[in-house]
Amino acid sequence: MRILVMNPNATRSMTDKIVASARTVASPGTEIVAATGTPPAPPSIQGHHDEAMSVPGLIARLRQAEAEGLDGVVVACFDDPGIGACREVFSGPVLGICEAAVKAASMLSTSFSVVTTLPRSVPVIEHLVHGYGLSHRLRRVRSAAIPVLALEEEGSGAREKVRAEILRAVEEDRCEAVVLGCAGMADLTEWLTEETGVPVIDGVTVATRMVEALVACGLKTSKVGAYAPPIA
Amino acid sequence: MRILVMNPNATRSMTDKIVASARTVASPGTEIVAATGTPPAPPSIQGHHDEAMSVPGLIARLRQAEAEGLDGVVVACFDDPGIGACREVFSGPVLGICEAAVKAASMLSTSFSVVTTLPRSVPVIEHLVHGYGLSHRLRRVRSAAIPVLALEEEGSGAREKVRAEILRAVEEDRCEAVVLGCAGMADLTEWLTEETGVPVIDGVTVATRMVEALVACGLKTSKVGAYAPPIA
Amino acid sequence: MRILVMNPNATRSMTDKIVASARTVASPGTEIVAATGTPPAPPSIQGHHDEAMSVPGLIARLRQAEAEGLDGVVVACFDDPGIGACREVFSGPVLGICEAAVKAASMLSTSFSVVTTLPRSVPVIEHLVHGYGLSHRLRRVRSAAIPVLALEEEGSGAREKVRAEILRAVEEDRCEAVVLGCAGMADLTEWLTEETGVPVIDGVTVATRMVEALVACGLKTSKVGAYAPPIA
Amino acid sequence: MRILVMNPNATRSMTDKIVASARTVASPGTEIVAATGTPPAPPSIQGHHDEAMSVPGLIARLRQAEAEGLDGVVVACFDDPGIGACREVFSGPVLGICEAAVKAASMLSTSFSVVTTLPRSVPVIEHLVHGYGLSHRLRRVRSAAIPVLALEEEGSGAREKVRAEILRAVEEDRCEAVVLGCAGMADLTEWLTEETGVPVIDGVTVATRMVEALVACGLKTSKVGAYAPPIA
Amino acid sequence: MRILVMNPNATRSMTDKIVASARTVASPGTEIVAATGTPPAPPSIQGHHDEAMSVPGLIARLRQAEAEGLDGVVVACFDDPGIGACREVFSGPVLGICEAAVKAASMLSTSFSVVTTLPRSVPVIEHLVHGYGLSHRLRRVRSAAIPVLALEEEGSGAREKVRAEILRAVEEDRCEAVVLGCAGMADLTEWLTEETGVPVIDGVTVATRMVEALVACGLKTSKVGAYAPPIA
Amino acid sequence: MRILVMNPNATRSMTDKIVASARTVASPGTEIVAATGTPPAPPSIQGHHDEAMSVPGLIARLRQAEAEGLDGVVVACFDDPGIGACREVFSGPVLGICEAAVKAASMLSTSFSVVTTLPRSVPVIEHLVHGYGLSHRLRRVRSAAIPVLALEEEGSGAREKVRAEILRAVEEDRCEAVVLGCAGMADLTEWLTEETGVPVIDGVTVATRMVEALVACGLKTSKVGAYAPPIA
């Protein structure tokens, strides 16, 4: 089985980290194919504009993946950009990491908070969770007030800020689990789980194995309605 | 006051029709500035892929509108593509025609149905209405089973199909109003209202006047949260 | 176009202020017709009882407006009293200022709070917003702990209390816009917007222009269901 | 214990029927005090206008009931008119028959339909049920297409139409219980239950006993928020 | 009329207290039949496991009640354990004390909080209230941080903790009423109402009288759908 | 990795079929441990009573699995019986097949219907889907009008009835995917997918791989709230 894990932004170091995380959880027989966005996709996706600029490149890469016969796709950005379009151009399962993570959180707890990077992502994520039907399980979307790319820099203090925000979430929101609201946090999961005592859920790993699950069960995206191939 | 009415697809004849509708309702002092998408924007927007391909051009045009000091924007496609991104790059009010139309419908009736073009647009619109919080007022989204561009062709029978579907909506859904689910139907509103006996609501005209309303009241898009300008 | 702006309470000075606000935003060709409630309508509407006492007079005035051929109606009380009944007796669009304001807020931001006068109005407004389907956008309804009529008195400190409460809303609720929850605050909008840095939305002006918008688009209240004329 | 059962419309024969129903279920120690609306309350309440015209008289009667020290109130019209205002002017529990009936239905079944009189009442009732939080239990609100006062006339065929509509509800809606959507149907409950095989729930009797229940438990309307006494 | 009031846990002293409360509110002609769970039902029900262990005994007792011709049942544990199963094996109305209490609260106020025993019960109750459709009325479920059985012990300080938590609820949640979230608090209602100034609602008494109400109105559990008798 | 797949009813032949399905999708390194309920668990679970009778045995088996150090659990009954209790007594992920299947369906389509066995299961499933937050994606829960055990009998015609009901769902509900609403249908998935042209989703296989996914990602059930171990 071959699964495309695509980082839709244009920062290659982030892709490396994401794909490394995906590979730690993939089953032996699963090949993880890496992909990174190219400009006009921005170096990080922080808001609707950035998201929109990343989607055409994402679609192009998925068309290629379809031609290559890949089995499934993970879109590794927590804003779940372009998922509907991706599902139109690809036959196998396509999963965003926000959808995967919050659905996993709801299987392991009765309530969760999300910790993301900048405040501007908060309403975007709230809207996604509303669409996924899990608003009643979501305690709060919190920002650790760090730019996405600070997670790539040694010594930025970003990790510690994420940890501190998770601890605040557990204390103040009375949540039972915490979802990491950025693909760039994928490598912190184990450390954060140990530090905080609650399940800390990273969308990259969960989405990788969930796509694997759907493929293994012989499931594909429905083509009889909203996700039918583009007409033109 | 200058309002940009942008048809995000690449079909100029549709823009002409849309802009003509907008001008029939605009106040005397309001200038309607027309814009059409350019490829890779497709000739019509039928699904998520098409929508995604139209957004970068839409954003580019809005950045220009911002530089020119325009006062407001109507995005004249019923899928409300790229609204979040548009609100990030423009200071004044930005309104999609779906949002405008369903909010107007809920001011004139207690329930409404939407009549759109192809079946694949049905779930897209359902999802939009859910996000706008009006699912409890929506009776049903219906498709008249016509491609968008058939509305541009004389003798395609498209108009009659729309009328027939509206009559079915009134009969079967017990709805009190009908929203036209495609910018390309803007010129049919008056005829359809006369033929059907219920308020028939076109998003192009309503959105134009609602944007005008917001501008006249001195209101602009909030820049303190989700719609802050792009970082890069 | 002639639009009735009716203050359903019996305080004439409030009507004057409301109508002055409406006139500042109305289009050149629009005539604003003023009306004030008469007893048993109370001097201010603070709660369900007061609302109920104001409705028969409101209906009577709308019947007259219908006979006079007026084109639209704004009910200028934030509790949106008697809107259903008004829509039954009047052909053109009828809009309450709460409905207008919260729908405008949701076009300019992803979240908003409401600042009203007394605590007792808080649940009334929460219930209205729930009915309008915007609970998921509403952060909180707040009271500035001032009686409605204090807004009419020089030196009451009411304006400053409203400003302080808006600043608390921005800080504590992390809202992106603020809706003024009383018709008597209509004259404060500009000042409050400057002082607070977020869109401050007044229902009187917005409702006036939105009714204008609906009339200009040729739209009327649906008469095939809930808003059919009274039987007797 | 003394409970006021008030028919807010002006038809005395309907009051007699309602009160007779209430008395059949009241506990031995409970005195049912009857009241009927007086003009401008209309002879039947069919829509928002009629409702609004009945409320001032309803409030006046409840003020008197408060002065007389009555213990609870049933508002015997299925539109639940003026409940908020009633709760402001009365200390003991006040219950509308729609609220009582749909809450009872949700204790006896997992889904129910409502059968009311005229189509115009359908959206009014849908809105009420939405506010009571039971939309997910409501299958459909149906109209038997009979005017309220036809229920008062021998030989009008109204009873048979109600029965037929209930049978359609059970068949088509797959509901488990049926709520009678008009106070004027109170005397039909037993007959309809026998004829249809599902619980048929009348709001008058249920509301009477539920108000009794609340009074017996020493409960009164909360006065610290929305239902505080009117200010003036 | 004979009503079974069953305490599904195995603590007889709690049953005595519960039944005493039920008897203080029952109508003269109503006989309250007491029942207590037996092991494997645990001494108190604190979580899903405990709930599950209590249900088979509860069902067995209800089968016996059905054979004895009892008229209605109150399940006196705030987790509303096994209500669906109980409704399958019993003909008359069956009501859990959470359902009864929150529905009563919504008849007396526009918002309420629940005060329960241990934190682990909080999400259980939130889920129940969501199912009953009253999430929009619920301010917060709070824990007084006391084990259920501490309510049975003199000098445990449990009562004072409950009072303090109610006062915090009124202050911090701005709720208008408080529901006691444990059957073991039934004897505290009067004292707490006096101490706090808001309606304090105990499910045992309310459920007892509401079951009485349903029986008095001739209503039984629907047997045409979800609550049909078990097949085997 | 060792995953317990437990059929909570007492029919061994159904367990065999379920476990065979689970094994077809499990990863090479995953051992599927089979378990069947024992009386008083009924031979099939059709309704709340049956569900309640199966839960104590389910809990007992999970306690044993915990002691044996198993990694995850699938509860293979579409009513998702006892999931909360199971999560309290087991450390690893526990997933019911309804939750797994409807979440998978929402990853592959924008709308789905469920086809179950008997009508009495319909409201049970509707309630589950409501709790999982996917009501807005659910078109309809349909019954094929077959007893669970008919699926075990050659020549019962049950398979054909399921196929026919799926085709009706696609036609009448305009759904994009269909979920099989009974563990006993697990072996029909491939055949039904071929026959119907839409994704047909079986909860047994999907839940098995999703539990595997959660275990592979190092995730366990949260123990800080609702799913803390039982106190006694």
pLDDT in tens, A130-182: 999 999 999 999 999 998 888 888 888 999 999 999 999 999 999 999 999 99
pLDDT tier at A4, thresholds 50, 70, 90: very high
> Can you spell out the DSSP letters for A80-105?
-TTHHHHHHH-SS-EEEHHHHHHHHH
CA C3 centroid distance within chain: 15
- Which tops the pLDDT comparison, E56 or D147? E56
- Whether the pLDDT of residue E103 is over 90: the answer is yes
In Å, how far are A102, D133, D232, E97, F214 from A201, measured between CA atoms?
Answer: 8, 33, 56, 36, 10
pLDDT attached to residue C79: 97
Q: What is the pLDDT of residue E186?
A: 86
How much is the pLDDT for C172? 95
pLDDT in tens, E133-159: 999 999 999 999 998 888 888 888 999
Strand order in the sheet with A72-75: A31-36, A2-7, A72-75, A94-96
- Residues of chain C positioned with their CB less than 8 A from the CB of D84: 47-48, 51, 124
Report whether pLDDT(E25) > 90.
yes
Q: CB-CB: which of C110, C136, C174 is closest to A135?
A: C136
Is B127 in Cβ contact with F110 (below 8 Å)?
Answer: yes
pLDDT digits (tens, 9 = 90+) for C48-90: 999 999 999 999 999 999 999 999 999 999 999 999 999 999 9
Residues 6+ apart with CB under 8 A from F215: F1, F3, F71, F72, F92, F93
- Tens of pLDDT, residues D6-47: 999 999 999 999 999 999 999 999 999 999 999 999 999 999
What's the pLDDT score for residue A27? Answer: 95
CB contact under 8 A, D224 and E110: no
Q: What is the pLDDT of residue B152?
A: 82
Task: Return the higher-pLDDT residue of A153 and C5.
Answer: C5
Task: List, in sequence order, the alpha helices (H) in chain B.
Answer: 12-25, 48-68, 83-89, 97-108, 121-132, 158-172, 189-196, 203-216
pLDDT band at D153 (very low <50, low <70, confident <90, very high): confident
**Shortest Cα distance from F18 to chain A (angstroms)?**
14
Task: Find chain E residues with C-beta within 8 A of F9's C-beta.
Answer: none
Q: Smallest CA–CA separation between E110 and chain C, in Å? A: 7
Mutate which of E48, E118, E120, E126 to disrupt the A interface (most A C-beta within 10 Å)?
A: E126
Q: State the pLDDT at residue B151.
A: 86
* D134 interaction partners in chain E (CB closer than 8 Å): 133
Contact of chains F and C by CB distance (3 or more pairs under 8 angstroms): no
Residue identified by tokens 């029952």 is E26
pLDDT at D89 over 90: yes
Q: What is the pLDDT of residue B149?
A: 86
Which of E38, E45, E49 would best serve as a mutation to test chain F binding (most F beta carbons within 10 A)? E49
Pairs of CB atoms within 8 A across A/B: 105
Q: What residues in chain F have their Cβ under 8 A from chain D's Cβ atoms?
A: 119, 122-123, 126-127, 130, 135
Give the tens place of pLDDT for each residue, F123-156.
Answer: 999 999 999 999 999 999 999 999 888 888 888 8
Judged by 3 or more CB pairs under 8 A, whether A touches B is: yes
Does B226 have pLDDT greater than 90?
yes
User: Which of B106, B111, B214 faces C107 most closely, judged by CB atoms?
Assistant: B214
Contact partners of F by the rule of 3+ C-beta pairs under 8 A? Answer: A, B, D, E
Identify from B38, B44, B49, B129 which residue to disrupt to test chain A contact, counting A C-beta atoms within 10 A and taking the largest count. B49
Give the whole-number percent of chain F exceeding pLDDT 90. Answer: 92
For A225, name the nearest residue in chain F, comparing CA atoms only: F176
- Domains of chain A in sequence order: 2-96+206-216 (3.40.50.12500), 98-203 (3.40.50.12500)
Which chain E residues touch A139 with a CB distance below 8 Å?
A: none
Contact of chains E and F by CB distance (3 or more pairs under 8 angstroms):
yes
| 8 Å CB contact of F176 and B123 | yes
Contact residues, chain A, for C111 at CB < 8 Å: 123
Among the residue ranges A141-155, C117-131, D156-170, the one predicted with the least confidence is: A141-155
Nearest-Cα residue of chain B relative to residue C95: B107
Query: Of C161, C164, C166, C159, whose CA–CA distance to C199 is shortest?
Result: C166
H or E element, residue D54: helix D48-68
φ, ψ at C43 (rounded to 5°): -65, -25
Which residues in chain C have Cβ-Cβ distances shorter than 8 Å to B207?
A: none
CA nearest E176: which of D33, C214, D227?
D227
Task: Report whether pLDDT(A218) > 90.
Answer: yes
Which residues in B lie closer than 8 A to residue A43 (C-beta atoms)? 232
ipTM for the complex shown: 0.96
Rounded to an integer, what distance in angstroms lies between the CA atom of residue B71 and that of residue B216? Answer: 10
Helix axes C203-216, C12-25, angle to 10 degrees: 50
Residue A81 confidence (pLDDT): 97
Establish whether chain B is in contact with chain E, requiring a minimum of 3 CB pairs below 8 angstroms.
no
Of the pLDDT bands very low, low, confident and very high (cuts 50, 70, 90), residue E210 is very high
CB pair distance less than 8 Å for E56 and F56: yes
Using pLDDT thresholds of 50, 70 and 90, give the confidence band for residue B153.
Answer: confident
Please, what's the b/e burial string for C78-117 (b: 16 or more CB within 10 A of its CB; e: otherwise)? bbbbbbbbbbbbbbbbbbbbbbbbbbbbbbbbbbbbbbbb
User: Which of chain B's residues have a Cβ under 8 Å away from the Cβ of F110?
Assistant: 123, 126-127
Q: What is the model's pLDDT at position D165? A: 97
Closest Cβ opposite residue E127 in set A110, A174, A176: A110
Asked if E176's CB is within 8 angstroms of C122's CB, the reply is no
User: CA-nearest residue of chain F to A175?
Assistant: F225
% of chain D beyond a pLDDT of 70: 100
Q: How far is A81 from chain B (nearest CA, A)?
A: 10
Average model confidence (pLDDT) across chain F: 95
Q: How confident is the model at residue B171 (pLDDT cuts 50, 70, 90)?
A: very high
Predicted confidence at residue C73, as pLDDT, reads 98
Q: Do E130 and A111 touch (CB under 8 A)?
A: no
The secondary structure of residue C214, as a DSSP letter, is H
Residue E45 pLDDT grade (very low, low, confident, very high; cuts 50, 70, 90): very high
Please name the residues in contact with E213: beta carbons below 8 A apart, sequence gap of 6 or more: D104, D206, D209, D210, D212, D213
E abuts D (3+ Cβ pairs < 8 Å): yes
The residue of chain D with its CA nearest to that of F124 is: D110
The whole-number pLDDT of residue C155 equals 85
List chain E residues with CB under 8 Å of C123: 110-111, 176
> Which pLDDT band holds residue A60 (cuts at 50, 70, 90)?
very high
pLDDT of residue B163: 96
Tell me what pLDDT residue B84 has: 97
Chains near D with 3+ CB pairs less than 8 A apart are: B, C, E, F
What is the rounded radius of gyration, in angstroms, for the C-alpha atoms of chain B? 17
Confidence of residue A126 (pLDDT cuts 50, 70, 90): very high
Say whether C213 and B216 touch across the interface (CB within 8 A): no
pLDDT band at C186 (very low <50, low <70, confident <90, very high): confident
Mean pLDDT for E191-216 is: 96
Question: What three-state secondary structure class fits A62?
Answer: helix
Q: What is the pLDDT of residue D50?
A: 97
If you average pLDDT over residues A87-92, what whole number do you get?
Answer: 98
**For residue C190, which residues of chain B lie inside 8 Å, CB to CB?**
218
Beta pairing partners, D73: D4, D94
pLDDT of residue A152: 82
> What is the residue-level pLDDT of chain F in tens, covering all 232 positions?
999 999 999 999 999 999 999 999 999 999 999 999 999 999 999 999 999 999 999 999 999 999 999 999 999 999 999 999 999 999 999 999 999 999 999 999 999 999 999 999 999 999 999 999 999 999 999 999 998 888 888 888 999 999 999 999 999 999 999 999 999 898 899 999 999 999 999 999 999 999 999 999 999 999 999 999 998 7
CA distance A168 to A172: 6
For chain C, the residues whose C-beta falls within 8 A of a C-beta of chain D are 40, 42-44, 46-53, 55-56, 59, 82, 84-85, 87-89, 119-120, 122-124, 127, 130-131, 147, 225-228, 230-232
Q: What is the mean pLDDT of residues D114-140?
A: 95
Q: State how beta strands F177-180 and F200-202 pair.
A: parallel
The alpha carbon of residue B166 is apart from the nearest alpha carbon of chain F, in Å, by 19
Q: Cα separation of A73 and A86, whole Å?
A: 9
Chains that touch C (3 or more CB pairs under 8 A): A, B, D, E
CB contact under 8 A, B88 and A48: yes
Asked if F147's CB is within 8 angstroms of E231's CB, the reply is yes
Question: Region B174-182: what's the mean pLDDT?
Answer: 96
Cβ D100 vs Cβ D210: under 8 Å: yes
pLDDT at E178: 98
Which stretches does DSSP call E strand in chain E?
A: 2-7, 31-36, 72-75, 94-96, 112-116, 138-143, 177-180, 200-202
Question: What pLDDT sits at residue C106?
Answer: 98
Q: How confident is the model at residue B203 (pLDDT cuts 50, 70, 90)?
A: very high
Secondary structure element (H or E) that encloses residue A115, with its range: strand A112-116
- Say what the pLDDT of residue D148 is: 83
DSSP state of F186: G
